[in-house]
Amino acid sequence: MSKPALQNDRLLKALLRQPVDTTPVWVMRQAGRYLPEYRATREKAGDFLALCKTPELACEVTLQPLERFPLDAAILFSDILTIPDAMGLGLYFSEGEGPRFTNTIRTEADIIKLGIPDPEQDLGYVMDAVRLIRQELAGRVPLIGFSGSPWTLATYMVEGGSTKVFANTKALMFDRPELMHQLLEKLARSVTTYLNAQIEAGAQAVMIFDTWGGMLNTANYLEFSLQYMKNIITGLKRENEGRDVPIVLFTKGGAQWLEDIADSGCDGIGLDWTIEIGAARARVGDRVALQGNMDPCVLYASPERIRQEVAHILESFGSGNGHVFNLGHGIHPAIDPQHTAVLVEAVHELGKKYHG
């Protein structure tokens, strides 16, 4: 299938530190509960997981924010826990408690039994969604694919769901590091295969969400999280449809380790809001692009305040290539969509002075 030419390639260029006319912007969870049309589609789907697993509906919600805002990218609507679900853990969502698994992974026997999911066979609904979204996007903006990081997936698999304290996961890591490595090794292979399949299906950039890497100490982060993300990067297809496919790593709470992350082989680093983006740039230099990093709570404030914060972050990054504007974490469900419009407009308008 020949694909239509990409009309807006600001995102891909910025991630590759190439010149753009203004700073590109997209928003983590831009397809989400803050949009009434998303809530309507989710209602229609029945529940969140059905929405993820029905390509037509996943495509529908992926495109919704693009109808409202001149965003510079679409991001696949999916969940970070599709891989463990495909491994047979039985993902479900219980109201108010977030994701849960029917089966947990605690022992060597549990880990040995885990297979590497075949993306087209076991996660075909994701690949179908990617293909459908690309078709429906018709080249308007690039599509970002994604996966959870091995460490982040492991925390949910060992705990059986969300946790605040990571007691079981860390007990395994501290007491049986060789078992944790076996698990992470399988997850890294699975993520590599999964992201490559997304790229082949049409994802034009990929992002690895290391939501819980920041809960580790420095030595553990390097050994149990970053190392496996590096392994994934080594195995990824870096070019498709005649273009580079940029890779972004996002470790929430990872500001301490930016230099190490920049050395991972990734093209861009996703920053949470806690670090000043200019300070981050000073530390990593021009090795990688930076994506971020407004506190999502700024969107609760007035349009004037939002513009002021956008201006501050653009100025903090400064002139030159390699900035993709985003929030430092997902947009909150209670945000007024009009405030998102203010954000996107402000980035495009105020970003011009830092380019060309």
Residues serving a catalytic function are: 29, 33, 42, 79, 156
* Residue of 297, 318, 336, 353 interacting with a second copy (CB under 8 A): 297
Stretch of 26-34, 81-89, 105-113, 213-221 contacting a second copy, by CB under 8 A: 213-221
Residue 216 engages a second copy in binding (rule: CB under 8 A): yes
**Token pair for 108:** 């060597």
Query: Residue 255, interface with a second copy (CB under 8 A)?
Result: yes
State yes or no: residue 138 binds a second copy (CB under 8 A): no
CA-atom Rg of the chain in angstroms: 19
Backbone angles phi, psi at 242, to 5 degrees: 80, 10
Tell me the closest approach of the beta carbon of residue 297 to a second copy, in angstroms: 3
Residue choice 30, 180, 309, 343 for contact with a second copy (CB under 8 A): 309
Nearer to a second copy, 243 or 332 (CB): 332
Is the Cβ of residue 89 or residue 215 nearer to a second copy in the bound state?
A: 215
Tokens of 274: 């806690």
Sign of CA dihedral 300, 305, 311, 316: negative
Question: Do the Cβ atoms of 66 and 59 come closer than 8 Å?
Answer: no
DSSP three-state, residue 156: helix
3 state DSSP class of 320: coil
Q: How far is the CB of 138 from a second copy (least distance, A)?
A: 36
Alpha-carbon dihedral sign for residues 12, 152, 47, 197: positive
Q: Does 276 bind a second copy (CB under 8 A)?
A: yes
Nearer to a second copy, 263 or 276 (CB): 276
Q: Which one of residues 27, 199, 215, 289 is an interface residue with a second copy (CB under 8 A)?
A: 215
226 binds a second copy (CB under 8 A): no
Residue 176: alpha-carbon gap to chain centroid:
29
Q: Which stretch binds a second copy (CB under 8 A): 136-144, 149-157, 233-241, 273-281?
A: 273-281
Distance CA 258, CA 264 (A): 10
What is the largest distance, in Å, between two alpha-carbon atoms of the chain?
A: 58
Going by C-alpha positions, the residue among 193, 272, 188, 181 that lies closest to residue 229 is 188
**What is the contact surface with a second copy in residues (CB under 8 A)?**
165-167, 170-171, 173-175, 214-221, 253, 255-256, 273-276, 279, 295-298, 300-302, 305, 309, 312, 328, 332, 334
